[in-house]
Amino acid sequence: MSLTLHFHPLASFCWKPLIALYENRTPFTPVIVNLGDAGSRGAFLKISPTGKMPALRDDARDRSLLESTIVVEYLAAHYPGPVELVPADIDQALAVRQADRFYDFYVQEPMQKIVGDRLRPQDKTDPFGVEQARDQLRNSYAIVEQEMQSKVWAMGDAFTMADCAASPALFYANKVEPFGDKYPAVKGYHDRLLQRPAFSRVIEEAQPYFKLFPYNNG
């Protein structure tokens, strides 16, 4: 099999390419990386010297791809399927990429700030930074609330890379800063994402690891 994805089932940024692969039923070999294991870590660092996941290895084309968005872009270009994750039309593609960046920078990033702070030693926490991150999430929810008033998916009727990005971002953000009743369109979009077979499969595969997530009970 040409493609190998190196990832961890709990890592939110790894979910984006996993959803893309499952959406188009693209054959690949999954390799779960355990950075705490010397052998696993050493093998992974040969592919991703920064130690960041995910990483896609394509033996057929002798390429290694890093960063979740780049991996999905690569799959869309070289292993396309029935779901056009990145539209051929340049203006539509730019809109997808802009939405992808929004979910990564303004939902994923503040969510990870909050999660990371809970993992810090008690005397190293950053309450001010966490509150800033929560403000950013609430602001992002308000933006998505307006955007999703009349849409099924991030770009409208078609499922794209933007939805691959939104899925993990909203899933984990809702754990640390719940939507509540204030953002019904956000909740409706999140619920539709949860019902998407590719995403539900990713969540199912992550279930054994959720005990490691510090907000798993709240």
CATH number, position 30: 3.40.30.10
- Number of DSSP helices (H) and strands (E) in the chain, helices first: 9, 4
Shared domain for 166 and 187, answered yes or no, is: yes
137 domain-assigned: yes
CA angle 31, 38, 209 (to 5 degrees): 50
pLDDT band at 216 (very low <50, low <70, confident <90, very high): low
pLDDT band at 132 (very low <50, low <70, confident <90, very high): very high
Instruction: Give the pLDDT of residue 39.
Output: 87
| CA 189 – CA 99 distance, rounded (Å) | 14
Under a CB-based contact definition with an 8 Å cutoff, are residues 177 and 139 in contact? no
217 domain-assigned: no
39 domain-assigned: yes
Residue with tokens 């968005």: 69
44 domain-assigned: yes
The contacts found for 168-172 with CB under 8 angstroms, 24 or more apart, are: 168/12, 168/13, 168/15, 168/16, 168/108, 168/202, 169/12, 169/103, 169/104, 169/107, 169/108, 169/111, 170/103, 170/107, 170/144, 171/12, 171/15, 171/203, 172/12, 172/108, 172/111, 172/115
Structural domain containing residue 54? 3-78
83 domain-assigned: no
Instruction: Give the pLDDT of residue 111.
Output: 97
pLDDT tens column, 185-204 = 999 999 999 999 999 999 99
**Threshold 0.85, pTM exceeds:** yes
Shared domain for 104 and 62, answered yes or no, is: no
Q: What are phi and psi of 30, to 5 degrees?
A: -85, 135
Shared domain for 160 and 109, answered yes or no, is: yes
Instruction: Give the pLDDT of residue 218.
Output: 41
Shared domain for 202 and 97, answered yes or no, is: yes
Shared domain for 154 and 105, answered yes or no, is: yes
Shared domain for 96 and 191, answered yes or no, is: yes
Among residues of the chain, what percentage have pLDDT more than 90? 87
Residue 30 is inside which H or E element, if any? Answer: strand 29-32
Shared domain for 74 and 94, answered yes or no, is: no
CATH number at residue 192: 1.20.1050.10
Shared domain for 13 and 101, answered yes or no, is: no
Q: 136 to each of 42, 62, 101, 161, 187, how far by Cα in Å?
A: 36, 40, 15, 22, 17
218 domain-assigned: no
Under a CB-based contact definition with an 8 Å cutoff, are residues 149 and 168 in contact? no
Shared domain for 94 and 201, answered yes or no, is: yes
pLDDT tens column, 8-49 = 999 999 999 999 999 999 999 999 998 888 989 988 998 999
